[in-house]
């Protein structure tokens, strides 16, 4: 007798980004972020990472038009990092391409352990004063440490939610002197497997055209709970007791018959090597099987036929 295979869907991270906690209340940063790729990202991670800082008095402009500065982790030097001045938005305009004798100088009075100020002069006139945050050097020199996930949530407006989120205060109270918070925003790509018995509600759930509709929100809710169940972040109090028992989740499962969620979570670079000390498996590709509310995880993307026979 041929068995009906319950429907499942699988996801992979399509794109992601992050902002340091210190940017959360900066109005200028907010204006830029509202135009950025985090707009509309449905899933957010609150993470903690090692704190990196400049030694601002070591900053210098090199002969090949790079700014170079020593970076420490806690008080331990770890690297001398550099970025090309011409790659900065302030210097990428046609105006600066024509200024062969422009004079960049580090402003040591204004620079701090997280921001380097550079005066760009032409003759006696200061044309620009770019501010170079330490995050630029982290990204350009692969200095970011893998982030530990403290909390996973969903929202359509990250800044509004996290500015007053109680988990921020809880997380700040957990930090050691050499740690800081980082907020990640994630977009996911979805695909699915189901047989000819898939009902209309399930097919609607797969539709990505209406990101404000109930079907899309339901799918994000299932994804959020799958991620929480996998990483078991220490600040998530719901969905971490070994059962998937929320009313919303059970409503979705009963309406669609979903019994599995595949998670492909690997990304390039240490900045996106998410981890938690409680995570179920040390694998970047896993499948959650929902056995009537009891979640189990399997390494790799597996076919449900091998489970439900």
Give, rounded to a whole angstrom, the gap between the first and last alpha carbons of the chain: 10
Contact 95/87 with Cβ under 8 angstroms? Answer: no
Domain ranges of the chain: 52-140
Burial bucket for residue 107 (CB in 10 Å: 0-12, 13-18, 19+) = middle
Query: pLDDT tens across 228-275, in order?
Result: 989 999 998 765 555 565 666 777 777 777 778 889 999 988 889 999
Query: pLDDT tens across 2-50, in order?
Result: 456 667 788 899 888 888 888 877 766 666 666 666 667 889 999 999 9
Query: pLDDT tens across 275-298, in order?
Result: 999 999 999 999 888 777 677 888
Report CA 86 to chain centroid distance, whole Å.
28
HEC profile for 144-210? CCCCEEEEEEECCCHHHHHHCCHHHHHHHHHCCCCEEEEEEEEEEEEEEECCCCCCHHHHHHHCCCC
For β-strands 115-122 and 131-133, DSSP reports them as antiparallel
């Amino acid at each position: 007798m041929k068995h009906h295979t319950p429907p499942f869907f699988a996801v992979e991270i399509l794109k992601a980004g992050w902002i340091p906690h210190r940017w959360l209340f900066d109005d200028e940063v907010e204006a830029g972020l509202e135009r950025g790729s985090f707009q509309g990202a449905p899933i957010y991670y609150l993470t903690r990472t090692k704190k990196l800082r400049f030694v601002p008095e070591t900053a210098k402009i090199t002969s090949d038009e790079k700014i170079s500065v020593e970076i420490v982790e806690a008080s331990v030097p770890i690297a001398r990092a550099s970025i090309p001045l011409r790659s900065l938005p302030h210097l990428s305009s046609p105006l600066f391409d024509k200024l062969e004798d422009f004079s960049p100088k580090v402003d040591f009075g204004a620079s701090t352990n997280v921001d380097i100020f550079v005066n760009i002069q032409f003759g006696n006139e200061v044309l620009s004063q770019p501010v170079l945050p330490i995050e630029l050097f982290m990204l350009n020199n692969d200095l970011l440490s893998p982030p530990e996930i403290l909390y996973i949530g969903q929202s359509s407006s990250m800044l509004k939610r996290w500015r007053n989120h109680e988990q921020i205060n809880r997380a700040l109270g957990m930090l050691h002197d050499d740690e800081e918070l980082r907020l990640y925003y994630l977009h996911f790509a979805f695909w699915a497997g189901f047989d000819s018995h898939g009902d209309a509600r399930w097919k609607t759930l797969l539709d990505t055209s209406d990101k404000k509709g109930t079907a899309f929100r339901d799918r994000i809710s299932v994804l959020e709970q799958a991620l929480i169940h996998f990483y078991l972040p220490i600040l998530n109090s719901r969905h971490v007791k070994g059962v998937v028992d929320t009313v919303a989740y059970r409503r979705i499962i009963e309406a669609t018959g979903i019994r599995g969620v595949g998670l492909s979570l690997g990304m390039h670079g240490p900045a996106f090597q998410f981890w938690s000390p409680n995570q179920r498996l040390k694998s970047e590709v896993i499948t959650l099987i929902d056995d009537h509310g009891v979640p189990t995880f399997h390494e790799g993307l597996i076919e449900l036929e091998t489970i439900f026979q």
